[in-house]
Amino acid sequence: MRNYYINYSLPVSIIVISFSIISAFLLFIDSSSLWIIVGLLLSVSIRCLILTSCIVFDEFYQLTNSYLLTSILQILLITNLFISSSYGLIRTVIYFPPAFIPYIYTPMIAILLLFLGCSIGIHSSLKKTNS
């Protein structure tokens, strides 16, 4: 039995991670040095998805012994995952035929809100208490 709560949907989180990987790959193809930062933070996000963020942030806190640095890392990971998955989605939508693009704006806002919720949820799992 797990001793933590997960605050995200697994299929949506896999889609978010997939678009982030696409984003890092496109940044690499475009010869941007941002792909290194996106890729490193994405690897930590994938680890948070597999092991839960409780374990990852506890390990980071034990290394740094600072709640401030742990909170900064959490904010960086949430921001990176949301922005990179949004960039990957937008770059993917660009390849649609121009006739479909006006019809995509409203669903795109809903998809981006799902991405934001999943980005926050992946990095904020809670430990269960015994009470």
Question: Where does the pLDDT of residue 1 fall: very low under 50, low under 70, confident under 90, or very high at 90 and above?
Answer: very low
Query: Whole-model pTM?
Result: 0.85
Question: Where does the pLDDT of residue 10 fall: very low under 50, low under 70, confident under 90, or very high at 90 and above?
Answer: confident
Give the separation between CA 72 and CA 103, rounded to whole angstroms.
38
Structure-token match 């690897």, residue found: 43
8 A C-beta contact, residue 115 and residue 86? yes
Of the chain, the end-to-end C-alpha distance in Å amounts to: 16
**Segments forming the whole domain that contains residue 91:** 4-127
Structural domain count of the chain: 1
| Residue 119 CB contacts under 8 Å (≥ 6 apart), including other chains | 16, 78, 81, 82, 85
